[in-house]
Chain A
Amino acid sequence: DAKTTQPPSMDCAEGRAANLPCNHSTISGNEYVYWYRQIHSQGPQYIIHGLKNNETNEMASLIITEDRKSSTLILPHATLRDTAVYYCIKSGNTPLVFGKGTRLSVIA
């Protein structure tokens, strides 16, 4: 099963941290967790990925639980331009399968 579970929508105040949860309880040992986002009318944009260690880059941080069954994407200081659909995906031996994602609305 290549699917993950995410809340359909979330709101976040501008300047605050946005914490987007993802459940991937069926993840296997060789599967990575990937996060992408899609801003209206654009193609999906890669954000970050990880296997079991927490990861950070210029866009976001990824926190993966010790049992790897869930993760959280953190946008430390959300801006209006972060309004988008965020996809959490397991990736292992098959190409990426996108679910419905979380629609994040950043509010001024």
Chain B
Amino acid sequence: DAGVIQSPRHEVTEMGQEVTLRCKPISGHNSLFWYRQTMMRGLELLIYFNNNVPIDDSGMPEDRFSAKMPNASFSTLKIQPSEPRDSAVYFCASSGQGSSYNSPLHFGNGTRLTVT
């Protein structure tokens, strides 16, 4: 298996523009997580899906952020409009054991977002 695939690997955009980050989880995994990492705040959980349904979005910073999982093999994280403080590395992770949190996460290599 190719692992969790994220695209793009790098994204540079101007403030106010819409940004869409993409994630393909490992085939057969039914839980998907979006994390954000900055030097100041470390790794933060943004949102979690189970069987394509959002379960916990309490980490989404504000209404500018939205995430979807239209099917088991694809998820998007959208920021509209983007701001410089959104600059970070965004990671997607998937795991394979139902709704249990006691299952190892497999992370992608992240998307490095820079908003100027």
Could you tell me which A residues sit within 8 Å of B by CB distance?
A: 32, 34, 36, 41-46, 49, 91-100
Contact = CB atoms under 8 A, between A and B. Distances in A.
A43 B102 contact: no
By secondary structure, the A interface counts as loop
Interface of B: 4, 33, 35, 42-43, 45, 48, 56, 91, 93, 101-102, 104-110
A100 B91 contact: no
Given A44-B107, A100-B42, A95 B33 contact: yes
Contacts of A96: 45, 101, 105
A32 B101 CA distance: 10
A61 B42 CA distance: 26
Contact of B45 (A34, A95, A100): A95
B56 A91 contact: no
Given A43-B107, A43-B108, A99 B101 contact: no
Contacts of A32: 102
A87 B24 CA distance: 25
A46 B48 CA distance: 18
Given A43-B107, A43-B109, A99 B42 contact: yes
Contact of B43 (A34, A44, A46, A91): A44
A53 B71 CA distance: 38
A93 B110 contact: no
A43 B93 contact: yes
